[in-house]
A and B are shown apart, each in its own frame.
Chain A
Amino acid sequence: SAVISQKPSRDICQRGTSLTIQCQVDSQVTMMFWYRQQPGQSLTLIATANQGSEATYESGFVIDKFPISRPNLTFSTLTVSNMSPEDSSIYLCSVPSTGGEKLFFGSGTQLSVL
């Protein structure tokens, strides 16, 4: 399985500010996924980050709020912009296994917005 490093591990932010979360994988992967887990809720896919093209966003998520970068096959960032308390969540990056059947997850970022 891939080793996925994610940082920061946690942060407390003021409303109206932005936070960029980084995800580094120890091997090259075509697709990387960003998930959000609000308190007591399921994991919800935010977007798919593809190298060399714009990210693909799921319904309810927009690029202005969650801009994503994917400069190479081992790295991606997710920015949470103009934060509000409703953005308080765990944010997770993930990559598929070689065969594509499973997802492996980074260590997660616990975000609290005051």
Chain B
Amino acid sequence: EDKVVQSPLSLVVHEGDTVTLNCSYEVTNFRSLLWYKQEKKAPTFLFMLTSSGIEKKSGRLSSILDKKELFSILNITATQTGDSAVYLCAVGDTGFQKLVFGTGTRLLVSP
């Protein structure tokens, strides 16, 4: 059974701190790993990773995948209060578009 585990479950930091969120996975036929940000109800897409060692970057957020060790990290530098959200990791199996999600990391950035 495909499985995604995220850590930590929750995290509280001060504005300006750098955080690293972790995602490990087990999937039969790996296709992609995706990161989403969920502020209220709807997850919004951040990154999709398919190849090891290639960093994806968007502003203060970056992510990288290690397909050998079966994990990914999401880094947020110079955190802001607007980064407070649940960050979800999901993996896609080959052949179809269904995703398996982790339980998420709840990040709270205090002023």
Q: Which residues of A contact B (CB under 8 A)?
A: 1, 31, 33, 40-45, 48, 90, 92, 96, 100-110
Contacts and interface: CB of A to CB of B under 8 A. Distances in A.
Contacts of A101: 31-32, 48, 50, 92, 97
B104 A48 contact: no
Contacts of A105: 42-44
Given A43-B88, A96-B97, A102 B41 contact: no
Contacts of A43: 43, 88, 90, 99, 101
Given A101-B32, A103-B99, A110-B41, 16 more contacts: A1-B45, A41-B103, A42-B4, A42-B88, A43-B43, A43-B88, A43-B90, A92-B42, A102-B45, A103-B45, A105-B42, A106-B42, A107-B41, A107-B42, A108-B41, A109-B41
A104 B90 CA distance: 13
B34 interface: yes
Among A33, A43, A101, A108, which residue has the most Cβ atoms of chain B within 10 A? A43
A44 B50 CA distance: 22
Contacts, number: 53
A90 B92 contact: no
B40 interface: yes
A108 B98 contact: no
Nearest to A104: B45
Which A-B residue pairs are the 6 nearest by beta carbons? Answer: A108-B41, A96-B97, A43-B101, A42-B103, A42-B101, A105-B42
Contacts of A110: 41
